[in-house]
Amino acid sequence: MLYLFSYSDLNHSLFIFLALFFVLFYEAINGFHDTANAVSTLIYTRSMPANLAVIMSGIFNFLGVLLGGLTVAYAIVHLLPNDLLLNKNSEHALITVFSILCSAILWNLSTWYFCLPASSSHALIGAIIGVGLTNAIITGSSLVNALNISKILNVFLSLILSPIIGLVIAGSLIFLLRYITSKHNKFNQIHMTPFEYEEKEGKKNPPLSIKIALILSSIGVSYAHGANDGQKGIGLIMLVLISIVPSSFLINLNASKNEITYTKSALNHLYKYYSNKHVHIINKNDNKKLYLNFSEIIKNVKQTNILLNNIDNYNLLNVQKRFQLRHFLLCISNNIDQITSFNINKDEKFFLYKMKQDILKTIEYAPIWIITIIALSLSIGTMFGWKRIVVTIGEKIGKKRMTYAQAMSAQITASFSIGIASYTGIPVSTTHILSSSVAGSMLADGDRIQKTTMKNIIIAWVLTLPISILLSGILYWIALSLIA
């Protein structure tokens, strides 16, 4: 990590330090903003003391970041247009980074202060979109080309669907538990609130089996949150370093000879595949032809092969060639996405997917020190400032305290949904899924929801994207005006 500051002048080193600090600060806020999603159910069902629950959540958030992979991280990086990300003007790169981070941090702190479980993911994604759109307006470029539209649509779809899925699945689990307990009356305790259980059994803590189930599901939420939201922090740092110190982070300079060999081999296989391809692919669903310029695709593959000729160490490439290599590999990856979106056979899809994984190893990576400091920031942040949102989820969503079954259903839904999203590389909102799962489980049980709280939460959800887009755009425009 220290080598980042060894070859820069004092001002540049200071800006790198500040950019990294802002990312870590954002991740710490994310930690205590979203901790409630994992610990509120434990605390309000008396399954674990608050301080112990928070420490446990911090540990499993840490492990989630370490072991969660990088698919979500680069879903975040690729939201920013390539020409804006790889801008060779260091001042422009710094403005881009700080505009994104400042707007996301300001919105997260504001919603935390007002005890609203809003989405850190929405805030970050909105900030990236805001900078991309503002840059397009200022430069007079196409708004359509200002962002990676396919990635944006996928992210939007996941952010819209995730709370609906949480609501439906958690509610369905309640119906399932009701059906099971109707056959076995001895399990009816699961539908009691802690106060009802204490009044009937004279015990404050839940039955051991229920307690274990709640703790395990809370661990699942914490781990899944670390894997998904922690990757967003990793993506942010990589975005910062690619923008500010491109010479060192455009490609994985520590790639092994085997990894470079895999990339070369994948390029050779793709060259043969494209060379034998017709000039079009038939989309059988609507009988239209998708015309692809395979000559252009083949040209990109050939130029990439030329760059890598006799190269077994990426450090041998000068900075210009590193820029070119990243550009070509991203183009080739996008071509693969375009082809696989159409109706080709399964063997071809599997082949292209495997080739894409091999070529992306060069540009989709993160040094272990980045993963570690993000894991530490998220887990430390998890242990502070969590009470405000916990109270909202635990006390203010339903008219009465949640039952053991409601807590369990919400957490199982959240842990599986977020875990699947992390594996598939979709950046979802932990807050949206958990909050909607709690509401869904209560509605399925016939419990009344506090309308004022839900209205405020929904307003915060709806406003997060437009406000973060507007805020980052304004900050970006002001900063550019000051240096003009």
User: Mind listing the pLDDT tens digit of every residue in the chain (484 residues)?
Assistant: 655 655 556 667 787 888 888 889 888 888 877 766 778 888 888 888 888 888 888 899 899 899 888 888 887 787 777 666 666 566 777 788 889 889 989 988 888 888 777 777 788 888 988 988 898 888 777 666 666 666 677 777 777 788 888 888 988 988 888 888 877 666 778 888 888 888 887 888 888 888 898 899 889 888 988 888 888 889 888 888 888 888 888 899 998 888 899 899 999 999 888 887 654 444 444 444 455 667 778 888 999 999 998 888 999 999 889 989 998 998 888 888 878 877 778 888 899 889 998 888 889 899 999 999 999 998 888 777 677 777 777 666 777 778 888 888 888 888 888 888 777 767 777 777 878 888 888 888 776 777 787 788 788 888 888 899 999 999 999 988 887 6
Nearest to 460 by CA among 429, 419, 426, 414: 429
Contact 406, 430 (CB under 8 A): no
- CA-CA-CA-CA dihedral for 32, 33, 39, 40, to nearest 10: 140
Strands (E) in 192-328, as ranges, are: 280-283, 288-291
* Total-model pTM: 0.81
Contact 238, 374 (CB under 8 A): no
The amino acid that residue 214 corresponds to is: L
Contact 365, 137 (CB under 8 A): no
DSSP β-bridge partners for residue 289: 282
Look up tokens 């390539």; give the residue. 82
DSSP secondary structure string, 39-89? HHHHHHTTSS-HHHHHHHHHHHHHHHHHHS-SHHHHHHHTTS-HHHHT-S-
Nearest-angstrom CA–CA distance, 411 and 417: 10
